[in-house]
Structure 1
Amino acid sequence: MSLIAAHRVQSPTLAMAETLAASDVQLSLERTTATSTDRSRLHFWANGADLDAFETNLRADDTVADFVRLDEVTDERLYSAAVDTTATLSAVDEEFDAISLSVQYTDGWWHTESRFPDEDSLDRYRTWLTDRDADIEVENVYVEDVSDRGPNLTRRQRETVLLAYEEGFFEVPRQATLTDLAVEFDVSEQAISQRLRRAYSRLVAGSYGK
């Protein structure tokens, strides 16, 4: 058994805090790669009304050592940015033997879902954040039963895929739209689209990946 904690975090000490405060964007973290003992590269998708302005702000951001645009699809861009490891939420993985399942930035908050080995580890993580002037709001904590987990999806991904199926999103013609699902979860259409896309990726990898 392990604990899954869905929570949101806001802190001026996190990497890209000033850039995100000045930019109307949403981020979805793909992965974090450690490049040295104190430096990591964040690989993330960004979407918003003015991504050129976002890049301008990134160049002036003292918490970003360098960044590069890797890809662009419609209104989204994939970036890789070098930052201080201790200024990222991915530090949870090393410090508390936890696993970040999903990390997204929207509405001024980092929305995160992480797997912790036990309640003590989660409590120490919360203390670690508050000691760094971070606001943390835990939205939900539940015990994960591995035998009942099914495909390796996060809780939100499972809920979204299940609701999409029940509402007829996968029917031809569709009986529900991204807008309908976004209303149900009180998030943007873009957030629902990204959540479904990542769920598809995990389902395919789990079924057919090597």
Structure 2
Amino acid sequence: MTDITAVVRAEHPDIVLTETVTHDRSSKVRSVSEAGTDPTSGKFFYHIESSDFQQFEDGLRNDSTIGEFERVIETRDDEAIYSFEYTDEAKILSPVISSANGVILDMENDGSAWILTVWMPDRTDLVHLWDYAQQNGIDIDLLRVNEYASLGNTDAGLTDSQREALLVAFETGYFEEPRNATLSDVAADLDISQPAASGLLRRGIKRLIISSLRDDSETPD
């Protein structure tokens, strides 16, 4: 079996947060994959950049895909972490990917479209995402795909500790939505602190993303 990292572009007005980023054209939205959330809370965390958070939140209030939201913390004047609860109207790609045993490594908006970096156990598993897109009228394009031997021995530049952390997180359901495990659970299985586990996951995910975007002749940072 050859697992893959794929970069996908998806666009539909009902993909979660699309109405908001369309309302606030200055906004840049990126999922916070390593956030240590309660797997039963139904809250999803995103890093937001905006020149006008009032306009961004006006968009949220009129976004049919968002129920509750909270500005959790402002990291800088134009950056903040938000938590969101989705409505039933939202088209959410992550459960489709999770059901195929895949993981969204990164998700950010490109205007009103979304760029997702996805890990899948096999290239053929992408068909589940394409089937969902076709059934729901979502425009979807495959921008790039890299193949590996497996997550356990990929040459994506992972350290042994990063690889182990990613495998533990994957096997415990940390990457599923809603999550079946917390960051605390992953840290306990690794017998390390939560900050250390978060750092390993964050750096490991970054390595996989860099590997999926770079040319084969380049070396990851």
TM-score by length of 2: 0.64
Closer/same/farther in 2, CA of residues 89 and 58 from structure 1, 3 Å limit: same
Matched, 1:99 2:103: yes
- Do the aligned partners of 1:3 and 1:117 also contact (CA within 8 Å) in 2? yes
Q: Work out which structure has the larger RCO, using CA pairs closer than 8 Å and 6 or more positions apart in sequence.
A: 2
* Richer in strand (by share): 1
Closer/same/farther in 2, CA of residues 77 and 163 from structure 1, 3 Å limit: farther
- Do the aligned partners of 1:28 and 1:44 also contact (CA within 8 Å) in 2? yes
Q: What corresponds to 2:72 in structure 1?
A: 70
TM-score by length of 1: 0.67
| Secondary structure of the corresponding residue to residue 87 of structure 1 | coil
User: Which amino acid is the alignment partner of residue 66 of structure 1?
Assistant: E
Q: 2 CA distance for matches of 1:34 and 1:94?
A: 17
Q: Cα RMSD (Å) of the superposition?
A: 2.6
Q: 1 CA distance for matches of 2:38 and 2:5?
A: 24
Seq. identity, %:
20
- Do the aligned partners of 2:6 and 2:145 also contact (CA within 8 Å) in 1? yes
* Structure 1 counterpart of 2:210, from 150, 157, 161: 157
| Secondary structure of the corresponding residue to residue 114 of structure 1 | strand
Q: CA offset at residue 154 of structure 1?
A: 4.3
1:21-68 superposed Cα distances (whole Å, 9 cap, x missing partner): 1111110100386865xx832200111222211012212323211000
Q: 2 CA distance for matches of 1:154 and 1:52?
A: 34
| Secondary structure of the corresponding residue to residue 123 of structure 1 | helix
Q: What corresponds to 1:123 in structure 2?
A: 127
Q: How many residues align?
A: 162
- Do the aligned partners of 2:22 and 2:111 also contact (CA within 8 Å) in 1? no
* Structure 1 counterpart of 2:155, from 127, 148, 152: 148
Q: What corresponds to 1:59 in structure 2?
A: 61
Shift >4 Å, 4+ stretches: 32-36, 162-165
Q: 1 CA distance for matches of 2:133 and 2:11?
A: 10
Gaps of 5+ in 1: 166-210
